[in-house]
Amino acid sequence: MQFVSNNILPISIALFSGAMLFWSMFGNRIRGIKEVDCTAALQLINHKNALVLDVRDEGEYKAGHILNSTPIQLGKLKERMGELEKYKEQPIVVMCRSGNRSVSACMMLGKSGFSQVYNLTGGIIAWQKANLPLKK
């Protein structure tokens, strides 16, 4: 007990760091967000006719995007949700630059009743690292 009281700050930091690491690894699963890597995303796109939803800003999209992706900025997704209604029962791969903004989009789509929403892990950065094509 003496050890704990003498080292409360380092112990607290270690526990907090562990919790943050746990959340970064399992947080999306806990929130019900399905994640796919580039290979799985390609399979969804090529074999299941998945829609690729790009939630990056206009400038980011113009710099390079996945072929035939649909650009809807994250900030405008709620007001443009009606445009996606026809894809409600179809797979949707949501992507952004690194995979963080797309998590928010996945949550919004899930709450709106979209049943097959997937977050592209690592976003366009992972896509580029995998040497997959971009359209400019």
Catalytic residues: 96
Using DSSP bridges, classify how beta strands 117-120 and 92-95 pair: parallel, antiparallel or unpaired: parallel
- Nearest CA-CA partner of 66 in 33, 15, 102: 102
- Which pair of structure tokens corresponds to residue 92? 């949707």
Burial class of residue 98, CB neighbours in 10 A (0-12, 13-18, 19+): middle
- Name the phi and psi angles at 50, rounded to 5: -70, 145
